[in-house]
Amino acid sequence: MSRFDVTAEWTGKWWVLQAVDAPGAISQVKRLSHAVEIVEAIAFVTGEPESSIEFDLRLIVPEAAATEIESADEARELSRHYNALAATKARAAVLELRAGGLTLDDIGAVLHISKQRAGQLLKEAAQAAAA
């Protein structure tokens, strides 16, 4: 298997794909989902069989867009972190409320979740405690 770095740059109508390590291997596609078409060009330039070619795609976007994409990625990562933290805190709250004698209906009302979700959190908390 040979691995190639491939750049993809939007020209206004097409994505122009170019294999960095095989300079003559260039292709153009309407959609990034068709980027695999670069394999044929790489095979033609290098003489390698298409079945032995893999590639990593690097998108070239305007600097302003790259900055926004990076910010969005960071925000998604923070969101994942805080969602996990919220779930941990909710499980702990369910355990405390249940230990205090509250029903699943009341736990759901206190936490602004359904009775079913309260039951799921209770089960998850019990499984985590048993592990």
Go through the domains of the chain in sequence order and give each one's CATH number: 2-60 (3.30.2390.10), 65-130 (no CATH)
Paired tokens of 115? 């009775």
pLDDT of residue 128: 86
**pLDDT attached to residue 131:** 79
What is the 8-class DSSP label of residue 101? T
From first to last of its 131 residues, what are the pLDDT tens digits of the chain? Answer: 999 999 999 998 999 999 999 999 999 999 999 999 999 999 999 999 999 999 999 999 999 999 999 999 999 999 999 999 999 999 999 999 999 999 999 999 999 999 999 999 999 998 988 87
Q: How many Cβ atoms are within 10 Å of 8's Cβ, its own excluded?
A: 20
- pTM beyond 0.75, yes or no: no
Token pair recorded at residue 73: 């990625």
Tell me how long the chain is. Answer: 131
- Give yes or no for a contact between 55 and 42, defined as CB atoms under 8 angstroms apart: yes
Question: Residue 103's Cα: distance from chain center in Å?
Answer: 37
Q: Residue 110: what pLDDT?
A: 97
> What are the beta bridge partners of residue 2?
53
125, two tokens: 């908390």
CB 15 within 8 A of CB 35: yes
pLDDT value at residue 129: 83
